[in-house]
Each structure stands twice: as C-alpha cells, then as structure tokens.
Amino acid sequence: MGDAITVEDLGNMSYRDAWRLQEEAVEKVAAGADETLFIVEHPAVVTLGRRDDSIKNLKTSPQKLERLGVEVVHSDRGGDITFHGPGQIVAYPIIRLANHGFMVSGYVHWLEAMVIAALAELGIQGQTDPEAVGVWVSDGEKLAKICAIGVRIRRGTSLHGLALNVSTDLAGFAHIVPCGLTDRGVTSIGKILGVKSPPLAEVKEILIRHLTTGLAASRRAETRSSPANDSSQ
C-alpha cells in the first residue's frame, strides 16, 4: 500500500472540476494508491454543506449570484455555507485516516493545528473555538474566521478539506452568513498583515510543508482497527 503523498497544484479550477478529481482520487487511494494533496484556487463560488438548513444562510439569490458570476454548488462536505474565490488557498488532502491514527474529529483538529502552525510562521496567532470548526483570529472583542474546514470521509478516506483566506476579496462573504454564524466576521492574511503580507505563492509553500510533514509524522503502520465510518464534519 502506498505510503507517500503526492502534491498536485491544480492552479485555478472550478469547484465542480476539483470535486470530480477528488472523487476519482478517493477511489484510488482507498484501494492503496499513494495519498494525494490537491492545492487549488477556485473562481468565485458559494458552496453549501450537507446540512439541510444551510440554504437559509444564503443572503443573495442564486439568480443574482449567477448574474454576478458567482456559482452556487450544493456540496457533500460537512459544515455549513462558505465562499471560495481567487486569493484563497484551498487544500484537499485525500488520505487514509487509519494510516495516520485519525478518527474524524481528530482529523479535523489536526487540520486546524496545521493551519495554526503555518499562520504562526507569518506572525499571526490563530486559534480554535470549541463551538465552531475552523481557524480564527482575534478581531477586537470578537473572533473572525481566517480558515474554513469541511470534510467528508468515505471508505476511510478523506476528501474536501480547508480554505485559507490569503488575499481573498472578503466582499464575497457578504452574500452569505459565513458558516451560519451571525456574530462572527471573516478576515484574511492580507487584511491582518497589510503591506507586509507575503505573496500567495509563499503562503502556499508554507501550508504545503506543514501539511505534508505533519502527515509524514502521523503516518503509522496499518492496524486491524476498522477504518473511519462514512461521515462529515
């Protein structure tokens, strides 16, 4: 069984096309192929998670969004509603959870930890919130989300992942109630660091390094334990 991880930078690709590649990769990885980390930027798109009521957090009609060039996609990932757009690094790890000793919740927390470590290199203090998945930073007396996380596990293998706002136009989030949280804002590395913000390519390298070295450190030999159940977070 493959124990390496292949990194594929997909460049700018539609959400649906990247989703299709993930679906294909999940079947291969679940069957024993090398694990894969897809890195991508999406054109402007609003995605809704598997929660039945996530549509209520769409503030702009799909018809108007279409006129604005923003696609709306009903995804099968966990979580609520979010926005993707240029300047946002999206990472989709296609990995076998059992190979890394992860249960679903532990995998989500691991993703949060990798993003927090990457942000720390840039001088940004990220944090988690026990009441909401993702990575947050202090925004006055409130928290603002800098990285959204939503995953799906099938045949013990992950798809979907995280979206880190680097130089994202945050106006795109005005079309939604991000993650369904009315009292929270969104932010980006560019907004926090201003002119000191590094280029997206540099942030991408840092994030990839943390994800790949973190996966290598967590990888362990196959055990007789059952793979994670089909689930979402």
Our CA angle for 196, 198, 202, nearest 5°, is: 165
Look at residue 86 in the predicted model and tell me its pLDDT: 97
pLDDT in tens, the chain (233 residues): 567 899 999 999 999 999 999 999 999 999 999 999 999 999 999 999 887 677 888 999 999 999 999 999 999 998 888 999 999 999 999 999 999 999 999 999 999 999 999 999 999 999 999 889 999 999 888 899 999 999 999 999 999 999 999 999 999 999 988 766 667 789 999 999 999 999 999 999 999 999 999 999 998 534 434 444 445 55
The total of structural domains in the chain comes to 1
Give residue 57's domain range: 5-232
Look at residue 117 in the predicted model and tell me its pLDDT: 98
Q: Which CATH number goes with the domain that contains 116?
A: 3.30.930.10
pTM of the model: 0.91
The residues that are catalytic are: 179
Buried b (16+ CB within 10 A) or exposed e, 62-92: eeebeeeebbbeebebbbbbbbbbebbbbbb
Locate the DSSP E strands across the chain: 5-12, 35-41, 45-48, 71-74, 81-84, 88-94, 127-129, 132-139, 142-154, 157-165, 185-186, 231-232
Residues 148 and 162: beta-carbon distance below 8 Å: yes
